[in-house]
Amino acid sequence: MCGIVAYIGHREAYPIILKGLKRLEYRGYDSAGVALLNNGMKVYKKQGKVADLEETLIGKDLHSNIGIGHTRWATHGEPCDRNAHPHTSKNGKLSMIHNGIIENYAQIKGELIKKGYTFQSDTDTEVLLKFIEDIYVNNEGSLEEAVRIALKRVVGAYVIVLLDEDNPDTLIAARKGSPLVIGIGKGEHFLASDASPIIEYTKEVVYVNDYEVAIIRPDELILKNLGNEKITPFITKLDMELAAIEKGGYDHFMLKEIFEQPHTIFDCLRGRLDASAGTITMSGIQQYAEQLMTANRIIMIACGTSWHAGLVAEYIFEELTRIPVEVEYASEFRYRNPVINKGDVIIAISQSGETADTLVAIESAKEKGAIILGVVNVVGSSIARTSHGGAYTHAGPEIGVASTKAFTAQLAVLTMMALKLGYMKGCISEKRYMHLLNELNDVPEKVATALLQKDAIHEIALKYKDASDALYLGRGYNFPVALEGALKLKEISYIHAEGYPAAEMKHGPIALVDDKLPVFFVATKDSFHEKVLSNMQEIKARKGKVIAVVSEGDDAANALVDDLIVVPYADELIAPIINVIPMQLLAYYIGVAKGLDVDKPRNLAKSVTVE
């Protein structure tokens, strides 16, 4: 899940590419590189962050109106200069960047070695480039033709962009599985993995589809399929402002996105939930109301934090709609050969809308006749375009690698869906429906109140920043919140943390408890409260450090805890959206206290576009 950027036009390419790579750095930061045409092909690449590359290029003649750039998340070949992109052809005239994985690269490499090709890197990308070169130099055809022929042999996922010294007014690009957006300007074009590097130059974009090849010149964009048939580009207008992808005075995108949640949840509810009228309007779902109403089961498919949102939604959907729900890890679901019946409803949850595991899982379920409803944040993303219907979460661009505002927006959308469906099915009374509608409507304000606890949470974070392990416990609707708390701490602070249903402790994990282990409880007032208090007793009895998130006015846990975090009370079904806020802030403050890059944690990337 690398970041790719390219430019062709009348402006200086390098500054546009450099700025774009910095915007996409959340997609991978193992190495960075650019290639420009400046009296021939000039390729510059360096292990590390984009800033490290920039440092090495100060003072160099980087003039060019055409160029390609890449920021890498290593898959094939360790992070080092040699494996950094762009890669160069044997004759030095072609340069290429790639996001994705070529699964049959070893076989192709074997064939090329027999033809006398040698390789400077361990990457699948260099193999694909030299495969294209071999076809190009041995066939009379154009580079574009060689690319189409080569891609017919390739197995895997890719976005590639090629720069050709002999065709200095043309870029060639192609896509399958990984995302590619092309920005349309006046006498110029911008290419990127998502819209964030393009937004400041143009709002007119084309989302390239699978198996499409793009031939890009300053004044021309041609799209073709691998069969050489022309395709009319479908231009979309971006509905995003530059400010949305700036830090806005916060130290980190993660902190900004945590504090944006009162607004992003409000934006997510706006125009959909009308508490005074007692209505929920979700056009992208209502089209499939019949299938949902008669569904024998609902399957939630997702990864990571989105999977945790699916787990909370399982509790809510079963409670409100009485439809059985299964929550599946996309990567396991895809290869488990699951039983999919015609009419099964699948809800695919994804912030980026580009997570390969989730994308390929829903593509295979769709082939088997399932209805796919997407709950997605990135507009125009692959999962959104692959789904039959669905709802956007409207959380705005999420730059911090650790998902925060997207999670709470996912919960808001999923709760609205379950409420609407439960009410339509007559599974819940008018009174309960209106109660939950108003509870949901009050969430933005309650989240704002929970955020006021930031200083107290910061204090607690400083107390536990040197822990080597941590446990997160919750029951019922709060169990997935505990899982999410543990994931945030792992991602941001590199502290080993596990989330568990609180009652599950007795069946093994309690052996980990001693006076050095912080145990974070999500213990807000709900139908599991008494049970959670006794679980707290069990931890205290083993001298564990208990940190509890409790509801305003509830002092039942006071005697049991070492540290307390108070949040506004909400109905147990709605509470997870509020209760996760302290979890996000704890992880953030511990990560910062440890001096770590909380926006770009090691080994991670924002959108995992490879399986």
Q: Is 606 a residue of the active site?
A: yes
Tell me the closest approach of the beta carbon of residue 469 to ligand AGP, in angstroms.
20
Task: Work out whether 306 is an interface residue with ligand AGP (CB under 6 A).
Answer: yes
DSSP string computed for 460-520? HHHHHTT-SEEEEEE-GGGHHHHHHHHHHHHHHH--EEEEEEGGGGGGTGGGG-STT-EEE
Closest residue to ligand AGP: CB criterion: 304
Q: Which of 164, 188, 491, 611 binds ligand AGP (CB under 6 A)?
A: 491
Tell me the closest approach of the beta carbon of residue 195 to ligand AGP, in angstroms.
15
H/E segment holding residue 222: strand 220-225
Q: Which of 64, 89, 178, 305 binds ligand AGP (CB under 6 A)?
A: 305
439 vs 491, which CB is nearer to ligand AGP? 491
Q: How does strand 3-8 pair with strand 235-237?
A: unpaired
H/E segment holding residue 112: helix 105-114
261 vs 305, which CB is nearer to ligand AGP? 305
Tell me the closest approach of the beta carbon of residue 463 to ligand AGP, in angstroms.
24
Per-residue contact string for residues 83-122; x = within reach of ligand AGP by CB under 6 A: ----------------------------------------
Tokens 């999500």, residue?
Answer: 522
Q: Which of 487, 328, 309, 479 is nearest to 411 (CA)?
A: 309
96 vs 361, which CB is nearer to ligand AGP? 361
Per-residue contact string for residues 165-184; x = within reach of ligand AGP by CB under 6 A: --------------------
- Rounded Cα–Cα distance for residues 397 and 196 (Å): 8
Task: Work out whether 483 is an interface residue with ligand AGP (CB under 6 A).
Answer: no
Task: Work out whether 607 is an interface residue with ligand AGP (CB under 6 A).
Answer: yes
- Rounded Cα–Cα distance for residues 50 and 32 (Å): 6
**Which span (102-110, 271-279, 345-353, 503-511) binds ligand AGP, by CB under 6 A?**
345-353
CA distances from 497 to 40, 120, 462, 482, 540 (A): 52, 40, 17, 10, 19
| Angle, CA of 396, 442 and 550, to the nearest 5° | 100
Task: Work out whether 300 is an interface residue with ligand AGP (CB under 6 A).
Answer: no
Amino acid letter for position 267: D
Task: Work out whether 25 is an interface residue with ligand AGP (CB under 6 A).
Answer: no
303 vs 482, which CB is nearer to ligand AGP? 303
Tell me the closest approach of the beta carbon of residue 557 to ligand AGP, in angstroms.
28
491 vs 563, which CB is nearer to ligand AGP? 491
**Which span (90-98, 152-160, 298-306, 592-600) binds ligand AGP, by CB under 6 A?**
298-306
Per-residue contact string for residues 346-365; x = within reach of ligand AGP by CB under 6 A: ----xxx--x--x-------
Task: Work out whether 402 is an interface residue with ligand AGP (CB under 6 A).
Answer: yes
Tell me the closest approach of the beta carbon of residue 539 to ligand AGP, in angstroms.
26
H/E segment holding residue 183: strand 181-184
Task: Work out whether 608 is an interface residue with ligand AGP (CB under 6 A).
Answer: yes
355 vs 387, which CB is nearer to ligand AGP? 355
125 vs 352, which CB is nearer to ligand AGP? 352
Q: How far is CA 604 from the centre of its chain?
A: 11
Q: Which residues 6+ apart lie within 8 Å of 535 measured at CB? A: 473, 475, 502, 503, 505, 521
Backbone φ, ψ for residue 601 (5° rounding): -65, 155
User: If binding means CB under 6 A, how many residues of this protein chain bind ligand AGP?
Assistant: 15
Amino acid letter for position 352: S
Residues 396-425: b if buried by 16+ CB within 10 A, e if exposed:
bbbbbbbbbbbbbbbbbbbbbbbbbbbbeb
Q: Is 186 a residue of the active site?
A: no
Task: Work out whether 453 is an interface residue with ligand AGP (CB under 6 A).
Answer: no
- Rounded Cα–Cα distance for residues 131 and 225 (Å): 19
Catalytic residue (choose from 2, 46, 488, 525) = 2
Tell me the closest approach of the beta carbon of residue 218 to ligand AGP, in angstroms.
34
Q: Which of 571, 608, 600, 271 is nearest to 413 (CA)?
A: 271
Task: Work out whether 393 is an interface residue with ligand AGP (CB under 6 A).
Answer: no
Q: Which residues 6+ apart lie within 8 Å of 74 measured at CB? A: 28, 30, 31, 83
Give burial (CB, 10 Å; 0-12/13-18/19+) of 94: buried
Q: Which residues 6+ apart lie within 8 Å of 248 measured at CB? A: 256
Tell me the closest approach of the beta carbon of residue 352 to ligand AGP, in angstroms.
3
Q: Which residues 6+ apart lie within 8 Å of 334 measured at CB? A: 357, 360, 361, 364, 611
Q: Which of 47, 83, 88, 403 binds ligand AGP (CB under 6 A)?
A: 403
CA distances from 200 to 64, 203, 270, 353 (A): 20, 8, 27, 22
**Which span (16-24, 395-403, 456-464, 550-558) binds ligand AGP, by CB under 6 A?**
395-403
Catalytic residue (choose from 49, 256, 454, 606) = 606
The set of catalytic residues is 2, 606
Residues that bind ligand AGP (CB under 6 A): 303-306, 350-352, 355, 358, 401-403, 491, 607-608
